[in-house]
């Protein structure tokens, strides 16, 4: 009889304890994202008012694609080293604020399946805050890759995304996996003049906190968003919608655009 009562109590308590643990991780994630946004503001303060570039040599040819906001690497066959990234000195002694505590179910081995390893489950606005592609155009060898936007360029700081929970779904080895993704992709692509065009990007914002995503905005406040929308296939053979990876808000770039 006693054993039966205890079993019933355990059955009742486990879901509540699990939910409490998930909520605690989500709260810790929001703290981490706020720290990332503040670190980027400190970086801008030391670098002529410019935010950290998302990927300063992504279009630099065979010798490029070695630098990200979250780390650097000696060659394209090596993983990124977070300790050597441009934000490293602003992230505290262990850099742990760059790791989402709820992002644990992902493939992290080296190679193509983990091409953004080291970003910790967070993505950065690559075409707007983390570059000047919006001004200089998105094209090979664009000067837009070299520098982040100036903080003063952001006209709606509380409504412009800086960082968010991120991941890329990948079909690999007969299974689907999450891999780390360092960019929080806006909805639509930019052309070689920086204008929005009707070409949808791959979704990367990960709604991992009870079907919600945490977002850090340019004023460093963090909010939870659950107004999810997505697509059912990506370039990696996976179904982002089924894996809770997509976007939130309007189906346009308005929450990324600096104006």
107 vs 6 pLDDT, higher one: 107
What the block records as the tokens of 110 is 């080296």
pLDDT tens column, 30-46:
999 999 999 999 999 99
Highest mean pLDDT among 25-29, 108-112, 228-232: 228-232
Beta bridge partners of 178: 169
Burial 67-82 (b: 16+ CB within 10 A, else e): bbbbbbbeeeeebbeb
Domain spans in the chain, listed from the N-terminal domain onward = 2-248
CA-closest candidate to residue 53, choices 170, 143, 168: 143
Q: What pLDDT digit, counting tens, does each position of 39-77 carry?
A: 999 999 999 999 999 999 998 776 788 999 999 998 888
Residue 93, judged by CB atoms within 10 A of its CB (0-12, 13-18, 19+), counts as: exposed
Task: Check pLDDT > 60 for residue 114.
Answer: no
Q: What does the pLDDT read at residue 194?
A: 97
pLDDT tens digit sequence for 222-252: 999 999 999 999 999 999 999 999 999 999 9
The reported pLDDT for the residue numbered 113 is 45
**Whether the Cβ atoms of residue 107 and residue 113 lie closer than 8 Å to each other:** yes
Q: What's the rounded mean pLDDT across residues 165-180?
A: 91
Quote the pLDDT of residue 127.
98
pLDDT band (50, 70, 90) for residue 108: low
Higher pLDDT, 179 or 51: 51
Look at residue 9 in the predicted model and tell me its pLDDT.
Answer: 44
Helices marked H in the chain: 2-46, 133-136
Is the per-residue pLDDT at 17 higher than 60? no
**102, pLDDT greater than 60:** yes
What is the overall mean pLDDT for the chain?
A: 89
Rounded alpha-carbon distances, angstroms, from residue 237 to 148, 170, 203: 32, 6, 13
**CB atoms inside a 10 Å sphere around CB 239:** 15
Q: Could you give the angle at the alpha carbon of 112 between the alpha carbons of 110 and 117, nearest 5°? A: 50
Would you state the pLDDT for residue 228? 98
Q: Is 10's pLDDT higher than 80?
A: no
Cβ neighbours around 122 below 10 Å, total: 29
Residues 239/174, Cβ–Cβ less than 8 Å = no
């Amino acid at each position: 009889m006693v054993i039966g009562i205890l079993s019933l109590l355990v059955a009742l308590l486990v879901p509540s304890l699990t939910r409490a643990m998930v909520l605690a991780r989500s709260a810790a994630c929001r703290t981490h994202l706020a720290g990332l946004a503040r670190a980027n503001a400190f970086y801008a303060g030391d670098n002529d008012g410019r935010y950290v570039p998302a990927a300063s040599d992504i279009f630099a040819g065979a010798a490029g694609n070695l630098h990200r906001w979250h780390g650097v690497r000696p060659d394209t066959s090596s993983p990124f080293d977070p300790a050597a990234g441009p934000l490293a000195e602003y992230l505290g002694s262990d850099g742990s604020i760059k790791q989402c505590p709820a992002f644990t179910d992902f493939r992290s081995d080296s190679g193509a399946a983990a091409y953004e390893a080291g970003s910790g489950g967070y993505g950065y606005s690559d075409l707007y805050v983390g570059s000047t592609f919006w001004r200089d155009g998105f094209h090979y060898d664009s000067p837009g890759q070299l520098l982040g936007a100036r903080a003063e360029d952001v006209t709606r700081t509380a409504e412009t995304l800086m960082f968010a929970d991120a991941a890329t779904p990948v079909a690999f080895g007969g299974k689907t996996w999450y891999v780390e993704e360092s960019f929080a992709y806006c909805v639509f692509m930019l052309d070689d003049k920086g204008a929005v065009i009707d070409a949808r990007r791959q979704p990367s914002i990960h709604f991992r906190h009870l079907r919600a995503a945490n977002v850090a905005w340019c004023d460093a406040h963090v909010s939870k968003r659950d107004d999810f929308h997505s697509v059912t296939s990506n370039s990696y053979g996976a179904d982002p919608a089924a894996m809770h990876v997509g976007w939130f808000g309007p189906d346009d770039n308005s929450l990324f655009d600096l104006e």
